Structure 1
Amino acid sequence: MTRHFLIVDDDPAFTRVLARAMTRRGFEVQVARDVATAVALAHQQAPDLATVDLKMEGPSGLCLIPQLKQLNSEVRILVLTGYASIATAVEAIKSGAHNYLPKPADADQILRALEGEAEASELNSDIPDTPMSVNRLEWEHIQKVLHEHEGNISATARALGMHRRTLQRKLAKHPVRR
C-alpha cells in the first residue's frame, strides 16, 4: 500500500530535493507552498506523513496542523523551521505535531523524527554542555512573548518595553546561536 507524504514549505529548492528523496523511498508525494494549497491537496488525498514549515507567506504552518489531523487523525506531522525556538516547538506539539526539527534537516532525519525511530542518544546530541548565551535567551524570550500575543508585533513590543521597530529588526534576524 502506497503511503502519502505531504510537504508544505515555501522554499522551492528544499521541496524539490525532499520530494525527490521521499519518492525514491516509495512515498507518493504532494507539495504545497502555502496553507491553502496544502488544505486543498489534503482534501483530495489525506496524507499519512507531513512536513510543515513554520513560517511561510500567509498563515503559519501551525494553523495547518489541526486541519490535517481533522482529515486523518493518524497523520504524523513534523514541523520544520529555520526559526527554531522553545515556544514554537511547544506550540507545535500542543497543536498535534509529532515532532519538531530545525532546518536544515535531511530526508533520513525527517523520516526518523516522523516515525519515532530516533534513538535517545541522537535526540540528546543537540543538548549543549554549556548554557544558552544571553543573546539566545533574549531571542527565546521574545519568541515566547510574541506567541503569547498571537504574533501581534505592537502588543509584543509594549509587553517587552521595546520600540516596535527595534523588535521588528530583532525578529528579522535569524535565531542567535546557542
Structure 2
Amino acid sequence: MTAVEQDLSTHPGYLLLVDDDRPFLIRLARAMESRGFTVFSADSVADALAAVKNEPPRYAVVDMRLGDGNGLDVVETIRNANPDARTIMLTGYGNITTAVTAVKLGAVDYLAKPADADDIFSALMNENASRVEPPENPMSADRVRWEHIQRIYELCDRNVSETARRLNMHRRTLQRILAKRAPK
C-alpha cells in the first residue's frame, strides 16, 4: 500500500456540515475533526451551495430547515456535484414525506434531532446500507418532547407566548413544563 493509499484509508475526507444552530454546528464540527474529517461548516443554504460549488464534499450532514431555505436544495446540489457523496439529512421536524424526499434527492440516511456525533459518524461511514444499530439507552418520549419544546423556546428568544402559539399549546401549560426539570 502506497503512502497516498494509506492516507486515504485512514482519512475519511472532506465533510460539509450545514446547520443554522451555531452551538450544535461547532460541537459537531469538533467531534468530526477528531474523527479525522476535514470539516467545512455552513449555517445557510447560500453558504452551503457556495461550498459545494467550490469543492464538492465526499460526506455531508445537512439540516432540513435553515434560516434562508430548505436543506433539501443542498442535498440535491451535492448529489449533482458528486454522485458518490454520502449525505445525511438531520431534522427536528421529521416526517415520512420529507424522509422519502431526502432519500430520493440523494441522502443516504435521515436522522432525527437530537442526534449525537456517534450516530452521525456511524451513518456516514455505514457503506453497506444496513441500518445503524439502535442506541443502548435511547431518550424517552418525554425527553424527546422536552428537548423539542426547549429548542422552540430558544428559537423564539425565550418568549413564552410565542413558543406556546407555535407549539399550539396553552401558555400556562408551557410555563409549567418549562418550570420542571428535564425528564430522563
TM tier, smaller? 0.5 to 0.7
* Deviation beyond 6 Å, 4+ runs, structure 1: none
Aligned partner (choices 60, 65, 71) of residue 50 of structure 1: 60
| RMSD value, Cα | 2.7
Can you give the 5+ residue segments of structure 1 that lack an aligned partner in the other structure?
126-168
Which amino acid in structure 2 is aligned with residue 72 of structure 1? N
- Which range is displaced more, 11-20 or 89-98? 89-98
Q: Secondary structure at the match of 1:69?
A: helix
> In structure 2, the residue corresponding to 1:122 is in which secondary structure?
coil
Which amino acid letter does the alignment assign opposite residue 44 of structure 1? N
Provide the identity percentage: 41
Structure 2 stretches lacking a partner, 5+ long = 1-7, 137-162, 169-184
Q: 1:170–1:87: structure 2 CA closer, same or farther, 3 Å change rule? A: farther
- Over 3 Å counting, the alpha-carbon distance change for 1:37 and 1:87 in structure 2 is same
The equivalent of 2:133 in structure 1 is 122
> How far is 1:16 from its partner?
0.3
Q: Does 1:16 align with 2:26?
A: yes
Deviation at 1:86, TM superposition (A): 1.2
TM-score, reference length from structure 2: 0.64
**Alignment coverage as a number of residue pairs:** 132
Query: Could you list the per-position Cα deviations for residues 45-97 of structure 1 after superposition, in whole angstroms to 9, with x for gaps in the alignment?
Result: 21111001001112100111111111111110000011111111111111111
3-state DSSP of counterpart to 1:4: strand
Q: Report if aligned partners of 2:88, 2:108 keep a CA contact under 8 Å in 1.
A: yes
- Quick one: higher RCO (CA 8 Å, sep 6+), 1 or 2? 1
Answer with 1 or 2: which has the greater Rg.
Answer: 2
Q: TM-score, normalised by structure 1?
A: 0.66
Q: 2:70 & 2:93 partners in 1: Cα distance?
A: 12
SS in structure 1 opposite 2:93? coil
Does the alignment pair 1:64 with 2:74?
yes
CA distance in 1, matches of 2:124, 2:51: 20
How far, CA to CA, are the matches of 2:108 and 2:165 in structure 1? 26
